[in-house]
Chains A and B, each alone.
Chain A
């Protein structure tokens, strides 16, 4: 088991936003959290990473999260935030190098090995021509690859992605998800992502977790979770789910006029 949480709860202000979530994620799998806006998907990710005060039990790679210090956590898990902060004047190379932070010593000097790791990731993500470009001067799709690159450079086992496709067009959405899928197999990564596009979620995840109002409403394979009755109730609109060449397609039903 790569990650486990029991009765995870988060209060923000006077509201409980994550309300008793139990989750088990197997090593090497891809789990996607779906749910309406404001369901608590981002907050759940932040709680799993201990970025927000939460109660409940959390385990990573069989160890209690509370007993793992910050540097070691950063060698186990990386986050690709929905809206990353990207210092405009920083070069792509230096941005990727930030991922080596938890591996460096006291003075923060990168070794030849650290630089080589960044070189490999730049090549793998097709970012080599952009290596010396400031972050302000690359496109949305390239930025997303740079953030994923930084996470890869961290050499973690568990990769969290918050809405990795929300800022991208159709083609780039597909590219990024296929990239993540290939990286998962190549590096043996475990992926936990959030996504509000149900079709993309169903296409790429092994398992879906449907979150509504801070609670898990359904969990399981895309076939079981993408159920018209369940989705209709949580999203508050009638949907049809059709199967097309072995893939699940969710179609909201238009209201009568």
Chain B
């Protein structure tokens, strides 16, 4: 019997198992001594319609529900979004190294955040806080500028012109960001801490800010998973197969970018996730976007939440910036992937 390449149930179950393991570990591990049952009980108690007595003291209950749980959920959301967005960019530009950051999302987000920090607007918490909002606006604005510039230069149909426009916009925005940063040396630590990425001090407010974007944009991307497979034969052939490649590219790029902007707004610039996770999934589970997109989402969530657990555990009570850890893990891993993978190079 003929079968299309699809996500095997075993991979789905395995990845969800890993995610669950990270969830439990993140709720339990930390300075306060809280058991697995109590931690899970406390979380379940907050599910509407469920009533569980976790037996935790008020302080420990707050540690689980107000500190660990939102940080965990945010880590999952940011990791899942960065990973599926990276996978989408790689598919749509048929470039294994593509990521939303290349179109200026990181530089724009960085500039927005820097403006907020040096002006003392917002403290990085809350739904309508200036920091995530400006980072969001900056990321979207930068990608929009890239788009416009590329259209003027040669049309977004040309992948090269789009990527080159991204380079130009990134260089320009980074220059402005550096200039502002240097004129405000007193806040330079805060700016760096944001740029290196952090999920510390996150509350449910950040989760509420990011959640709608992550869910909607992920749904949009997943709806296009088969079309992205068709795009792998190039625009001309995809057209003869009844697709409108320019339109698919526009929709997917916008969705991945909006999602990335939301992730950057709440988590800072966390590097490498969008590369490591999709490539690992491709090597292990298959190259069709029907496999890569959903698995990248789940594995990316587990990966970043796991790294964040590491970031807050290895040097307690200090925190290692999560972006430093993802880069430290990511760069050597990535070189290893490149060396061992024939599929990637082919």
Interface residues of A (CB under 8 A from B): 46, 49, 51, 70-75, 77-79, 81, 84-91, 93-94, 97-99, 101-102, 104, 106-110, 115-116, 118-119, 122, 131, 136, 154
- B239 touches which of A51, A91, A109 (Cβ 8 Å): A51
Indicate if the CB atoms of A119 and B2 lie closer than 8 Å.
yes
**Interface segment, one of B135-143, B144-152, B229-237, B317-325:** B229-237
Indicate if the CB atoms of B225 and A108 lie closer than 8 Å.
yes
Q: For B343, what are the chain A residues with a Cβ–Cβ distance below 8 Å?
A: 88-89
Please name the 3 residue pairs, one residue from A and one from B, whose CB atoms are nearest each other, closest first: A74-B242, A102-B242, A108-B226
- A104 touches which of B5, B226, B232 (Cβ 8 Å): B226
Indicate if the CB atoms of A51 and B236 lie closer than 8 Å.
yes
Indicate if the CB atoms of A122 and B2 lie closer than 8 Å.
yes
A149 to chain B, nearest CB (A): 12
- B233 touches which of A71, A75, A98, A109 (Cβ 8 Å): A98
A107 nearest CB neighbor, chain B only = B223
Q: For A89, what are the chain B residues with a Cβ–Cβ distance below 8 Å?
A: 287, 343, 346
Q: For B223, what are the chain A residues with a Cβ–Cβ distance below 8 Å?
A: 106-107
Residue B243 interfacial (CB < 8 Å): yes
A148 to chain B, nearest CB (A): 14
Indicate if the CB atoms of A118 and B232 lie closer than 8 Å.
no
Task: A70 to B226: give the CA distance in the assembly, Å.
Answer: 17
Given A74-B242, A101-B242, also A85-B237 (CB < 8 A) = yes
Write the B221-253 contact mask toward A (1 if CB under 8 angstroms, else 0): 001011101101110110111111000000000
Task: A111 to B46: give the CA distance in the assembly, Å.
Answer: 42
Indicate if the CB atoms of A87 and B236 lie closer than 8 Å.
no
A49 nearest CB neighbor, chain B only = B240
Q: For B202, what are the chain A residues with a Cβ–Cβ distance below 8 Å?
A: none
Indicate if the CB atoms of A70 and B244 lie closer than 8 Å.
yes
Q: For B57, what are the chain A residues with a Cβ–Cβ distance below 8 Å?
A: none
Residue B3 interfacial (CB < 8 Å): yes
Q: For A99, what are the chain B residues with a Cβ–Cβ distance below 8 Å?
A: 241
A99-B241, A115-B4 given; 13 more Cβ-contact pairs under 8 Å: A70-B239, A73-B242, A74-B240, A81-B237, A90-B287, A93-B3, A98-B229, A98-B233, A101-B226, A102-B241, A106-B223, A108-B226, A131-B2
Q: For A72, what are the chain B residues with a Cβ–Cβ distance below 8 Å?
A: 242
B240 nearest CB neighbor, chain A only = A79
Indicate if the CB atoms of B2 and A116 lie closer than 8 Å.
yes
